[in-house]
Homo-oligomer: A and B are copies of this chain.
Amino acid sequence: MDLERYIRERSSVNGDIVNVDTFLNHKVDAALMGVIGRRIAGIAAPLRPDVLVTAEASGIAPALSAASELRIPMIYAKKYVLPGPREAVSREVASATKGFEYTIEIRRRVLDAGLRALVVDDFLARGRTAVALGEIVEDIGCRMLGAVFVIEKGWVGGRHLLEDRGWPVWSVVNIASVEGGVIQFG
């Protein structure tokens, strides 16, 4: 499957927003997700992760698909706008697209210290969700192996926020620009 062609043909672009809700993060093309899972697993396998870590909700499908390929568990951080249970390690995240802050958290009892954890998410834009996940993973005492994204919005530059912390970054597809409503891959 030509992933870049698929994404170019089916996304709707509006300014800086690349809308993928008809196949990736509202309606999900299960066959596409299988392909994405295998691509992520191919990147992840040499890193020997014990667990994949993502955030609800849009990270769940790609992380589960990859975890199934790798035969390891995945954890999705819970997201709270109103206060949630506090038996967890959490970070505040300011959402660019939603316009408000929320908290993501992982309960200690689902992630043992000492494991090798790899972050997976659908989009890399400013990288704040991934930074929050990486910090939670390290707070719990796990080895943060880096982060793999389905789609990187390369022109936003969020990659550097992660790399500056020593976390390697991979993306399955890198969008270099969306000038004039046309997706250009990097």
Spell out A's residues near B (CB within 8 Å). 21-22, 26-31, 33-34, 51, 56-57, 60-61, 64-65, 67-68, 70-76, 78-79, 81-82, 98, 100, 106-107, 109-111
A106 to B98, CA, bound (A): 17
Considering only CB atoms, which chain B residue lies closest to A31 in the complex?
B71
A82–B100 CB distance below 8 A? yes
Give me the 9 closest cross-chain CB pairs, A-B, nearest first: A56-B57, A27-B110, A30-B67, A57-B57, A30-B68, A60-B60, A81-B81, A27-B75, A28-B74
State A74–B51 Cα separation when bound (angstroms).
25
CA distance A15 to B107 in the complex (A): 20
Separation of A68 and B109 alpha carbons in the complex (Å)? 30
Q: Is the CB–CB distance between B30 and A110 below 8 Å? A: no
Residues of B within 8 Å of A21, CB to CB, are: 107, 109-110
* In contact, A64 and B67 (Cβ under 8 angstroms): no
Q: How far is the CB of A72 from chain B (nearest CB, A)?
A: 7
A73 cross-chain contacts in B, Cβ below 8 A = 27-30
In the assembly, what is the distance between CA of A57 and CA of B63, in Å? 13
Is the CB–CB distance between B109 and A75 below 8 Å? no
Q: Are A34 and B68 touching (Cβ within 8 A)? A: yes
Q: How far is the CA of A81 from the CA of B81 in the complex (A)?
A: 7
Chain B residues with Cβ below 8 Å from A71 are 30-31
| Docked CA distance A132–B25 (Å) | 20
